[in-house]
Structure 1
Amino acid sequence: MSKRLDGRIALVTGASRGIGRAVARAFAAEGATVVAVARTQGALEELDDEVRSAGGAPLALVAEDLRKTDKVEQIAAALYTRYGKLDILAGCAGLLGQLGPIGHIKAKTFDDVFNTNVRMNWDLIRYCDPLLRLSDAGRAVFLTSDCPETLTPYWGGYAASQAALETLVKTWAAETAKTALRVNLYNPGPTRTRLREQAFPGENPETVPAPAVHGDPLIALCSPDEQRTGEKIAYTA
Structure 2
Amino acid sequence: MSGAMLKDRVVLVTGAGGGLGSAVSKACATEGATVILLGKTIPKLEKAYDAIVAAGGPQPAIYPLDLAGATEDDYRDLAATIEREFGALHGLVHCAAELGALGPVNDISGGLWQRLLHVNLSAPFLLTRELLPLIQKSAGSAIVFVTDSVARSGKAYWGAYGVAKIGLEGFGKILADELENYKVGVHVYSPGPMQSPLRRRAYPGENPESLPSPDIHAEQIARMLSPNETCSHAHLNSNV
TM-score (ref. length: structure 1): 0.95
Write the mapping of 1:104-143 to structure 2, written as runs, cut at 5 A: 104-143=107-146
Q: From 206, 230, 236, give the equivalent of 1:232.
A: 236
Match of 1:21 in 2: 22
Match of 2:81 in 1: 78
Cα displacement (A) at 1:147: 0.7
Match of 1:58 in 2: 59
Q: Residues 142 and 230 of structure 2 are in contact (CA less than 8 Å); yes or no, is this contact kept in structure 1? A: no
- Does 1:89 pair with 2:88? no
**CA deviation string 1:64-121 (max 9, x = no partner):** 1133122221111111112222100001000111211111112221111111100110
- Could you tell me which runs of 5 or more consecutive residues in structure 2 were left unpaired when the two chains were aligned: none
Cα displacement (A) at 1:212: 1.1
Q: Aligned pairs, how many?
A: 236
SS at match of 1:118: helix
- Structure 2 distance, partners of 1:2, 1:40, is 28
Write the mapping of 1:40-59 to structure 2, written as runs, cut at 5 A: 40-59=41-60
Q: Residues 89 and 140 of structure 1 are in contact (CA less than 8 Å); yes or no, is this contact kept in structure 2? A: yes
Q: Residues 73 and 127 of structure 1 are in contact (CA less than 8 Å); yes or no, is this contact kept in structure 2? A: yes
Query: Residue type matched to 1:83 in 2?
Result: F
- Structure 2 distance, partners of 1:98, 1:105, is 8
- Structure 2 distance, partners of 1:111, 1:51, is 35
- How high is the sequence identity, in percent, across the aligned residues? 34
Query: Residue type matched to 2:160 in 1?
Result: G
- Structure 2 distance, partners of 1:15, 1:193, is 13
TM-score (ref. length: structure 2): 0.94
- Structure 2 distance, partners of 1:219, 1:57, is 15
- Could you tell me which runs of 5 or more consecutive residues in structure 1 were left unpaired when the two chains were aligned: none
Q: Name the stretch that deviates more: 64-73 or 25-34.
A: 64-73
- Does 1:211 pair with 2:218? no
- Structure 1 distance, partners of 2:222, 2:141, is 13
Q: Residues 193 and 199 of structure 2 are in contact (CA less than 8 Å); yes or no, is this contact kept in structure 1? A: yes
Task: Give every structure 1 segment of 4 or more consecutive aligned residues whose post-TM-superposition deviation is greater than 2 Å.
Answer: none
- Structure 2 distance, partners of 1:92, 1:166, is 13
Query: Residue type matched to 1:160 in 2?
Result: V
- Structure 1 distance, partners of 2:95, 2:74, is 17
Cα displacement (A) at 1:227: 3.5
Cα displacement (A) at 1:148: 2.1
Query: Residue type matched to 1:44 in 2?
Result: L
- Structure 2 distance, partners of 1:46, 1:179, is 36
